[in-house]
Amino acid sequence: DVVLTQTPSTLSATIGQSVSISCRSSQSLLDSAGNTYLYWYLQRPGQSPQLLIYLVSNLGSGVPNRFSGSGSGTDFTLKISGVEAEDLGVYYCMQATHAPYTFGAGTKLELK
């Protein structure tokens, strides 16, 4: 199975600060058709996961543009440009290139 390693596990930020989360894969997520099925989700406390980014860098429906995704192959990054209070929670990356699809362990974003 593909292992996704997220760092850091915990991130402390102030409102307005820009932060980044890394997601590294144990193998390339580029498929034979040239697609990279790397997703980012935010799970706020007591809620189900919400899609933020799909296919590495595409913003989900209704997601603010302070969120951005980048990367290729095995290295991916989620950036929040100006953290807001509603961004607090746990961020997960997920890959759907290789079955079984797998998730990172999560990064908890908290207020400093």
* Residues that bind other proteins in the complex, under the rule CB under 8 A: 39, 47-51, 54, 60-61, 90, 92, 94, 96, 99-103, 105-106
- The distance of closest approach from Cβ of residue 65 to other proteins in the complex, given in angstroms and rounded to an integer, is 18
To other proteins, the closest distance from the beta carbon of 16 in angstroms equals 27
HEC assignment per residue over 40-56: EEEECCCCCCEEEEECC
Nearer to other proteins, 17 or 68 (CB): 68
Nearer CB in complex with other proteins: 16/46: 46
Sign (positive or negative) of CA dihedral 37, 3, 104, 11: negative
Structure tokens at 73: 């192959």
